C-alpha cells in the first residue's frame, strides 16, 4: 500500500474518532511540519495540533512499531488495523503526547495481552493510550 493511501486511511480513522469524542478536526492545507489536523475542543475553548501515523508493521508477534519523524504536532495519533477472525478489520487509534518535537522517535505498542516479561520494558500496552487527556 502506498504512503498516500495509508495517510488517507489513517486520517479518516482518526477524524472519525475525534468527532466521536466531541472534538472538531480541521484539515491543514499545507502539511510540511508533520501536522495533519488542527483540533478544536469547543468545550475547553482550546486548540491543539495532531499528526496521524498508520502502521501495520509488527516488531514481534503482537507489537506494532510506529516511527515518528520530526513532527511539530502537539499530539500523535497512532492508527493500527486489527484483523478479525471474519476477515474484516477494526481500527485502533492511540494518542501519544509529542514530547520530542523536531526529533525522530519510535514507540512499540503491544496489541495483544499485557506481559509481565521484564525484557520488554520498552513496549507499551495499547489500552493505556486510547483515552487521552487532551
pLDDT tens for 42-69 read 999 999 999 999 887 777 667 888 888 8
Degrees (nearest 5) of the Cα angle 77, 107, 40? 20
Domain residue ranges in the chain: 3-129
**Residue 63 CB coordination number (10 Å):** 19
Q: Is 59 in contact with 65 (CB distance < 8 Å)?
A: yes
Tens of pLDDT, residue by residue over 67-109, are 888 888 999 999 998 888 898 888 999 999 998 888 888 888 8
For cell 516488531, name the residue.
Answer: 59
Is 125 a residue whose pLDDT tops 60? yes
pTM of the model: 0.83
Handedness of CA 92, 120, 128, 4 (dihedral sign): negative
**Is the separation of the CB atoms in 14 and 77 below 8 Å?**
yes
How confident is residue 122, by pLDDT bands cut at 50, 70 and 90?
low
- pLDDT the model gives residue 89: 85
Mind giving me the DSSP string for 49-89?
A: EEEEEE---BSSSSEEEEEE-S---SEEEEEEEEEPTTS-E
CATH topology of domain 3-129: Trna Endonuclease; Chain: A, domain 1 (3.40.1350)
Neighbours of 111 (CB within 10 A): 16
Residue 127 has pLDDT above 80, yes or no: yes
Amino acid at each position: 500500500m502506498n504512503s498516500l493511501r495509508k495517510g488517507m486511511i489513517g486520517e479518516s480513522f482518526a477524524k472519525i474518532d475525534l468527532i466521536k469524542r466531541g472534538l472538531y478536526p480541521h484539515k491543514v492545507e499545507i502539511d510540511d511540519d508533520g501536522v495533519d489536523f488542527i483540533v478544536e475542543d469547543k468545550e475547553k475553548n482550546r486548540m491543539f495540533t495532531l499528526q496521524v501515523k498508520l502502521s501495520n508493521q509488527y516488531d514481534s508477534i503482537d507489537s506494532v512499531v510506529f516511527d515518528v519523524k520530526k513532527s511539530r504536532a502537539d499530539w500523535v495519533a497512532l492508527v493500527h488495523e486489527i484483523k478479525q477472525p471474519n476477515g474484516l478489520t477494526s481500527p485502533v487509534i492511540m494518542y501519544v503526547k509529542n514530547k520530542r518535537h523536531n526529533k525522530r522517535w519510535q514507540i512499540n505498542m503491544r496489541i495483544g495481552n499485557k506481559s509481565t516479561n521484564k525484557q520488554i520494558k520498552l513496549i507499551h500496552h495499547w489500552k493505556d493510550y486510547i483515552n487521552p487527556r487532551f
